[in-house]
């Protein structure tokens, strides 16, 4: 029986898979970097923080646009790799719900595919609000779910449903923000005090010549699907992998397999003045 909290599960997972994440999935999540940075305005001279920064690519891209950018992540291994990737940039270990910064320290805060891994995403949104200056922008992305164009998640769900006989006991509410939900995102940012939330669907896709890299994402990287697969016998796990491989292969066009992974970008603003603050 699983007795760990989601926070413990996530910290353990990200502490041991930084390298494989960077080698495989960071290339996919990085497709969201340009639209995220476009959404927070001119970054020249801006103070910018990336929360749940992973291996550092968004921080480096923001710095290229002229921002004084830094990143935090709660996994030491992620921060070590971010520092190795970009030795000139500033990274530190910190929890999104307890940021080691003063109030109003940043002009912009981002969180790329981080909130879906948090037990209490509301706490991270509240912290983003606190460390933003009045008028500053907060932008975050979440993956669209299996019923909303997230083909890779749909493939995993189907294969698991077809072959898992005894699913493991996972934490009751995995997280409120597991997948993109514009209404919920709006509610959470408004509750924190943000105004003018807006939403943009971003096209992200995984492309490869074989099915293996996509199977690896589900079997070795994605926290929840890996937990489910690890809880199964090797025979069942092999059946799930084979079912996923067949569905992934079915997406092949000529030499290339393309799997859609759309994301939702939410952008909201901290009120510029007291009079704009919602009552
Ligand atoms: C899917 S990865 C995203 C990494 C990167 N932002 C990207 O887009 O590639 C999720 C990241 O969130 C971090 N994370 C999860 N919960 C966190 C928390 N409570 N505080 C800070 N970082 C957290 C993990 O360590 C991991 O690096």
Q: Cα-flanking dihedrals φ and ψ of residue 93, to 5°?
A: -80, 125
Q: What is the pTM of this model?
A: 0.95
Residue 80 burial by CB count (10 A; 0-12/13-18/19+): exposed, middle or buried? middle
Å from CA of 250 to ligand 1 middle: 31
Q: Report whether residue 52 contacts ligand 1, using a CB cutoff of 6 Å.
A: yes
Which CATH class for the 6-273 domain?
Answer: alpha beta
Q: What pLDDT sits at residue 70?
A: 98
Domain range annotation of the chain: 6-273
- 107, 233 Cβ separation under 8 angstroms: no
The residue whose CB lies within 8 Å of the most ligand 1 atoms, and thus the one to mutate among 54, 140, 222, is: 54
Å from CA of 253 to ligand 1 middle: 33
Q: Report whether residue 114 contacts ligand 1, using a CB cutoff of 6 Å.
A: yes
Q: Report whether residue 14 contacts ligand 1, using a CB cutoff of 6 Å.
A: yes
pLDDT tens for the chain, 279 residues: list them.
Answer: 567 888 999 899 999 999 999 998 999 999 999 999 999 999 999 999 999 999 999 999 999 999 999 999 999 999 999 999 999 999 999 999 999 999 999 999 999 999 999 989 999 999 999 999 999 999 999 999 999 999 999 999 999 888 888 877 777 667 788 899 999 999 999 999 999 999 999 999 999 999 999 998 888 888 888 888 888 899 999 999 999 999 999 999 999 999 999 999 999 999 998 777 776
Q: What pLDDT sits at residue 220?
A: 85
Residue with CA at minimum distance from ligand 1 atom 14? 52
* Residue whose structure tokens are 């084979």: 242
For residue 266, give the nearest of 205, 194, 206 by alpha carbon. Answer: 194
Q: What pLDDT sits at residue 173?
A: 66
Å from CA of 96 to ligand 1 middle: 9
Q: Report whether residue 145 contacts ligand 1, using a CB cutoff of 6 Å.
A: no
């Amino acid at each position: 029986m699983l007795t760990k909290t989601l926070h413990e599960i996530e910290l353990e997972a990200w502490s041991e898979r930084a390298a494989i994440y960077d080698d495989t999935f960071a290339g996919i999540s990085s497709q969201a970097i340009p639209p995220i940075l476009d959404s927070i305005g001119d970054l020249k001279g801006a103070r910018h923080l990336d929360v749940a920064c992973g291996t550092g690519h968004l921080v480096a891209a923001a710095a290229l646009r002229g921002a004084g950018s830094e990143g935090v992540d709660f996994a030491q291994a992620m921060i070590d790799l971010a520092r190795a990737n970009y030795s000139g940039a500033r990274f530190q270990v910190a929890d999104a719900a307890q940021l080691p910064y003063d109030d109003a320290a940043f002009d912009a805060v981002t969180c790329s595919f981080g909130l879906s891994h948090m037990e209490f995403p509301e706490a991270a949104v509240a912290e983003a609000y606190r460390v933003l200056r009045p008028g500053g922008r907060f932008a975050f992305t979440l993956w669209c779910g299996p019923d909303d164009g997230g083909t890779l998640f749909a493939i995993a769900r189907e294969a698991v449903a077809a072959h898992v006989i005894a699913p493991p006991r996972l934490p009751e509410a995995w997280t409120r923000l597991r997948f993109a939900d514009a209404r919920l995102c709006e509610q959470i940012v408004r509750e924190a005090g943000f105004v003018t939330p807006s939403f943009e669907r971003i096209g992200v896709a995984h492309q490869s010549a074989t099915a293996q890299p996509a199977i690896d994402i589900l079997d070795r990287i994605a926290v929840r699907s890996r937990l489910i697969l690890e809880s199964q016998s090797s025979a069942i796990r092999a059946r799930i992998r084979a079912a996923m491989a067949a569905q992934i292969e079915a997406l092949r066009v000529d030499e290339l397999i393309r799997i859609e992974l759309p994301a939702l970008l939410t952008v909201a603003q901290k009120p510029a003045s007291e009079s704009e603050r919602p009552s």
